[in-house]
Structure 1
Amino acid sequence: MLTLSLLRHAKSSWDEPDLPDHERTLSKRGTKAATEIGRYIERNEGRPELILSSDSVRTRATVSLVLAELSGNPPEVVFDEGLYLALPAMILERLRKVKGGQKHVMVVGHNPGLHALALSLTGSGDRKAIQKMAMKFPTAGLAVITFDADDWNAIKPAAGTLKDFIIPRELA
C-alpha cells in the first residue's frame, strides 16, 4: 500500500507586487494554515518518508512549517525546480522515479497542476470529499490518496482511493 499526500502551498503574500512569483513569501494567514495542516498531518496522517517540493519560496516555507509540527526523525526533503508550476504529467513522472521503499510520499506544489493530478489519480473514496476536492483545491489544502501498489512506478490514473481531503478552514 502506498500513500500520496498532495499539499498545495499555503497562502502567499502580495505585499510586494513587483516580486517575481517564484519569490513570493507566505502571508500571515498562510503561515497559520501551514502550521495547522502540519498539526493535522502529525495527528491523523502519519509522517511522510519523503517530501518532494517545488523550490519556490512559498513552498519551502510551507514545508518548513509542516516539518516543525512533525515528531520523530524528519523525512527526507527534496526541493525540485521541476515541480514549480508543474503540469500533472510532470509531477506523476517525478513520483514514478521514487525508489528506496518509501511508502508515504508528500508532494508540495502549485495549482492547477496539483489539483488536476489529485483529480486524475482519484478513482474511489468518499463521494462528498471527492466532490469537495473537485470544486476547489485551496491553498494549504491536503489530499491523501492511497494506492494498492508497492511501487510508485505502478500508480496510474483513477487507481487511487481518496482517504482524506482537508482544507485549513475546517481545522480552525
Structure 2
Amino acid sequence: MKTLYIVRHAKSSWEYSGVEDIDRPLKKRGIKDAHLMSKFLSKKIGKPDVFVTSSANRALHTAVIFCGNFNAPHANLQIKRQLYSFSDGYLVKTVHALDDGFNSAIIFSHDHGINSFVNQFGNKPLAHVPTCGIVAIEFEEKHWKNIKKGKTILVEFPKNHT
C-alpha cells in the first residue's frame, strides 16, 4: 500500500516587480498557513518517507517548513525542477518514478497539476485545491509506477483551521 500527500504551495507574493515567477516568495500569510497545516498534519500522520518539491521558491519554502514541523532532515527533501509545471503530466511522472522503498510521500507542487491529479487518481471530486491545501490518496498497489484510482483519505484546507 502507498500513501501520497499532495500539498499545493502556500500563498505567494506578487508584490515584487521584476521577480521571475519561479522566484516569487511566500507572503506572511503563506508562511503562517504552511506552519498551521504542517503542524496539523504532523499530529495526524507519521513522518512521510520522502518529501518532494518543485524548484519554485514558494513550493520549496513550503516544503522546508513542512520538513521542520515533521522534524524531517532536509536530506529527505528532493527538489524536482520538472514539478515547476502547471499540468499534471510531470506530477504523474514524478509519482510513478518514486522509489518503491517509500510507502508514503509528500509532494509540493502547483495549482492546475494538483487539481487534475487529485481528480484523476482520487475518488473524491474536488473543484479546487487552494494554496497550502492538502489531499491524501491511498493506493493498493505495491509499486508507485502502477498506481491507478486510489481512495482519497484526507482533504484539508487552511480555511478550516483558522
Structure 1, unpaired ranges of 5+: 124-129
| CA–CA distance in structure 1, aligned partners of residues 100 and 141 of structure 2 | 15
Correspondence for 2:159: 169
1:92 aligns to what SS in structure 2?
A: helix
1:54 aligns to 2:54 (yes or no): yes
1:141 aligns to 2:130 (yes or no): no
1:30 aligns to 2:30 (yes or no): yes
| CA–CA distance in structure 2, aligned partners of residues 86 and 141 of structure 1 | 16
> Deviation at 1:45?
2.3
1:160 aligns to 2:145 (yes or no): no
2:26 aligns to what SS in structure 1?
A: coil
Correspondence for 2:113: 113
| CA–CA distance in structure 1, aligned partners of residues 41 and 108 of structure 2 | 13
2:58 aligns to what SS in structure 1?
A: helix
* Paired residues of 2:33 and 2:158 also in contact (CA < 8 A): yes
**Count, aligned residues:** 162
1:14 aligns to what SS in structure 2?
A: coil
Structure 2, unpaired ranges of 5+: none
2:155 aligns to what SS in structure 1?
A: strand
Decide whether aligned partners of structure 1 residues 146 and 11 sit closer, same or farther in structure 2, where only a CA change above 3 A counts: same
Per-residue CA distance 1:77-116 (angstroms, 9 max, x = gap): 1111111024212211121111251000111000101111
Using the size of structure 2 for normalisation, the TM-score is 0.94
* Paired residues of 1:50 and 1:104 also in contact (CA < 8 A): yes
Computed over aligned residues only, the root mean square deviation of the Cα atoms, in angstroms, reads 1.5
Residue type of the alignment partner of 2:70: L
Correspondence for 2:81: 81
Match runs of 1:86-101 below 5 Å: 86-101=86-101
Identity %: 23
